[in-house]
């Protein structure tokens, strides 16, 4: 059935020019790099500890070759807002077999000494059976670092956006349920460092641009030994007819320069979040107009309860979403204080999945407070997601302002 769209089609005037620039944004500097086709990393600027790093994604050599063969114009080799052919190329590149073969992105983490347990509540062993986390990712963003006296720093509470439903209506759209939030989706990409395909989770987030996806930094950038990933796409409601709402290619990626510089150590633990500005799908519709978007709240107190949706690769059918709801406590580790949940058997592939407050099963919408970032290196006892403070809000603002 033909979709009826109330959104205005994207015009050439909205196409983002390809250039390098420096842009003041919130608490830091945004460093950008030019879009290229091929194996070169997109971001060429040197990251700084205080900065926000932006990269425009590339197609891998394999995907770029396919684009050149399928288009008379070189424009098809670029994953940009003004090049619809590139969306078809990426949709073709991510065949069912390739998606099935993609590995969960699980960067190695050290054997942390987490015997101190959470800052509030009981240790994991007494509150729930062995479960949770295990995605191998490092920590997340925000200012919620543990202090020497046990106090936790918090930022002022700020609502960046409210949840919103789709503006494109189709009788064949998948219905929200306890097993499916259409706003959540599968993230797939190629790491140019090894040429392999990987998978994570993400969610559409409401914003003025209607084009943002939130995920983990280690789902967009390889850290000190790598760069921004290639062939990056978001597929909402994946598994309900594979990708029923279309493929949304990355147009620009935003994460913290701390992550690019440090990765899964030190300051990198505080910076494992990313917002990706996506191009419209094959029908020319922005992701939030197509499926809706979660709200986003930063600052305030740490979470106390969350609903999670993700695509964990340790579940028997990793192609389908998994849902988990449970109590959240504050967990002190390596000098930082994270949100932690137990009782969710989420392993690799769950990285970047949103933790939601005030989730409505009927609408498939909630408010993002953090994303799945890391768990113990060798088990699934818990999942951790960092405190989203003012920095996370500035990252969101920078991504939404990129045109």
pLDDT score of 196 = 92
Least confident stretch, 38-42, 209-213, 218-222, 355-359: 38-42
Q: How confident is the model at residue 20 (pLDDT cuts 50, 70, 90)?
A: very low
pLDDT score of 143 = 34
Cα–Cα dist 99/372, whole Å = 21
**Ordered structural domains, the chain, with CATH:** 25-33+47-105+117-401 (2.40.10.120)
Q: Are 259 and 244 in contact (CB under 8 A)?
A: no
pLDDT of 220 higher than 70:
yes
- Tokens for 225, please give them: 């030994």
More confident residue, 154 or 193: 193
- Tokens for 149, please give them: 């006296």
Q: How confident is the model at residue 265 (pLDDT cuts 50, 70, 90)?
A: low
Cβ neighbourhood burial of 156 (10 Å; 0-12, 13-18, 19+): exposed
Least confident stretch, 54-58, 88-92, 167-171, 390-394: 88-92
pLDDT score of 338 = 82
- State the average pLDDT over residues 290-316: 94
More confident residue, 65 or 327: 327
- State the average pLDDT over residues 388-400: 95
For the question of whether the overall pTM of this predicted structure is more than 0.85, the answer is no
Cα–Cα dist 387/154, whole Å = 8
- Tokens for 129, please give them: 């059976």
- State the average pLDDT over residues 206-228: 94
pLDDT score of 328 = 96
- State the average pLDDT over residues 196-225: 95
Q: How confident is the model at residue 166 (pLDDT cuts 50, 70, 90)?
A: very high
pLDDT of 11 higher than 90:
no
pLDDT 10s digits, 379-390: 778 888 888 999
Cα–Cα dist 272/53, whole Å = 12
- Tokens for 133, please give them: 């986390």
Q: How confident is the model at residue 239 (pLDDT cuts 50, 70, 90)?
A: confident
DSSP-assigned letters across all residues of 312-369: -TTSS-TTS-EEEEEEEEEEEETTEEEEEE-S----TT-TTPEEEEEEETTTTEEEEE
312, HSE (Cβ side, Cα atoms, 13 Å): 26
Orientation of helix 61-70 relative to helix 84-93, angle to 10° = 120
- State the average pLDDT over residues 223-238: 92
**Cross-strand bridge partners of residue 382:** 133
pLDDT of 352 higher than 90:
yes
3-state secondary structure of 395: helix
Q: How confident is the model at residue 233 (pLDDT cuts 50, 70, 90)?
A: very high
């Amino acid at each position: 059935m033909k979709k009826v769209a109330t959104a205005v089609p994207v015009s050439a005037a909205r196409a983002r020019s390809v250039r390098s620039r420096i842009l003041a944004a919130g608490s830091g500097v945004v460093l950008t790099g030019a879009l290229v086709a091929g194996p070169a990393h997109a971001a060429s600027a040197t990251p700084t500890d205080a900065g926000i790093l932006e990269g425009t994604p590339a197609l891998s050599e394999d995907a770029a070759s396919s684009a050149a063969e399928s288009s008379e114009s070189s424009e098809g080799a670029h994953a940009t807002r003004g090049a619809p052919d590139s969306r078809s190329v990426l949709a073709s590149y991510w065949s069912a077999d390739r998606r099935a073969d993609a590995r969960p992105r699980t960067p190695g983490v050290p054997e942390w000494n987490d015997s101190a347990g959470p800052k509030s509540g009981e240790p994991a062993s007494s509150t729930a059976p062995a479960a949770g986390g295990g995605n191998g990712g490092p920590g997340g963003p925000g200012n919620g670092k543990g202090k020497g006296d046990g106090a936790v720093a918090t930022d002022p509470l700020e609502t960046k956006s409210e949840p919103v439903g789709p503006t494109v209506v189709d009788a064949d759209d998948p219905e929200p349920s306890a097993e499916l939030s259409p706003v959540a989706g599968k993230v797939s990409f190629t790491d140019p460092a090894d040429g392999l395909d990987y998978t994570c989770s993400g969610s559409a987030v409401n914003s003025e641009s209607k084009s943002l996806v939130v995920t983990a930094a280690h789902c967009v950038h390889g850290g000190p030994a790598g760069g921004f990933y290639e062939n990056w796409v978001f597929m909402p409601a994946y598994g309900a007819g594979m990708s029923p709402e279309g493929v949304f290619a990355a147009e620009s990626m935003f994460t913290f320069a701390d992550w690019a510089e440090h990765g899964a150590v030190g300051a990198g633990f505080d910076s494992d979040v990313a917002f990706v500005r996506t191009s419209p799908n094959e029908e020319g519709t922005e992701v939030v107009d197509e499926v809706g978007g979660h709200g986003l709240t930063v600052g305030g107190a740490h979470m106390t309860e969350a609903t999670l949706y993700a695509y964990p690769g340790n579940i028997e059918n990793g192609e389908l979403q998994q849902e988990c709801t449970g109590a959240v406590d504050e967990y002190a580790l390596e000098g930082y204080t994270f949100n932690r949940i137990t009782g969710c058997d989420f392993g690799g592939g769950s990285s970047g999945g949103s933790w939601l407050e005030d989730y409505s099963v009927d609408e498939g919408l909630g408010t993002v407070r953090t994303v799945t970032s890391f768990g113990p290196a060798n088990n699934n006892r818990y999942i951790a997601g960092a405190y989203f403070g003012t920095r996370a809000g500035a990252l969101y603002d920078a991504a939404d302002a990129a045109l």
